[in-house]
Amino acid sequence: MDDEVFHQITRIHEHFADTKNYFHLLRHTTNLASRYNWFASRSLSMPMANLPSDVVQELVAQLLEEDIKSPTRRRLPEDVEIGKALRMQIRSKLSALFESRENRTLRRETDLAKDESEESFANSVFDSDALFRDKTEKIEHESRSAMAERIDRFLDFVADDPLVHAMIILARDEDIYKPAEAVADRLDVTVNDIYIAKKRMLSAGRRFIQSEKN
């Protein structure tokens, strides 16, 4: 094993022999990650790493890499205190994740979904007030029956999209369709997931209407 590699591995093992140091680094990573505007910031999920703990574990593995020529190996500077050096490496990894194509693409998708505002969703043909729960008007039995059948057909139409399917059922059965935060909490997803799913729902609604005409 190369002397430089051996020395770095020894430093890492000695540092993390005190388990407090691992949890300090994890806490630092979690706090730092919360400052970034991830595509799913509410849950701190990041592209290529689901949680801050994944970032820390990947970094440790890269620092313990024995092949000095490995493209994934990371090197700690000898003249920097190891705790500070690790924090520098974490900042570098989070910055790279933030600037990654995947994160930029997903942020753009989220922004586009947010453009489809709550008002746009509420005014769509699949709004809960219009389609699911008109409690203020007396509706003929035939109208209610036709409405229920239409909802069932739409549910079949979006069956391949579990989140949209679940959102429609939640609106129909529990009268929960906004705000996005309430829907997200009920379905155990992020608010950004709901914004993006609403965009898919509107698109599916337009396709469904066209299919009903054919």
Identity at 83, one-letter amino acid code: G
How high is the pLDDT of residue 186? Answer: 87
Cα gap 130→134, rounded to integer Å:
6
Interior/surface letters 182-198, b for 16+ CB within 10 angstroms, e for the rest: ebbeebebbbbbbbbbb
Ordered by start, the domain boundaries in the chain are 3-106, 116-213
How high is the pLDDT of residue 5? Answer: 92
How high is the pLDDT of residue 205? Answer: 83
Residue 133 exposed, middle or buried by CB count within 10 Å (0-12, 13-18, 19+): middle
74 Cβ contact list (under 8 Å, min separation 6) = 59, 62, 63, 65, 89
How high is the pLDDT of residue 19? Answer: 93
How high is the pLDDT of residue 45? Answer: 56
How high is the pLDDT of residue 22? Answer: 95
Closest among 46, 25, 24 to 35, alpha carbons compared = 46
How high is the pLDDT of residue 114? Answer: 52
pLDDT tens, per residue, the chain with 214 residues: 788 899 999 999 999 999 999 999 999 998 888 777 666 544 445 665 568 888 999 999 999 999 988 999 999 998 899 999 999 999 998 888 877 776 666 555 555 445 444 444 444 444 444 444 444 455 555 466 777 788 888 899 999 999 999 998 888 888 787 777 888 888 888 877 888 888 888 888 888 888 877 7
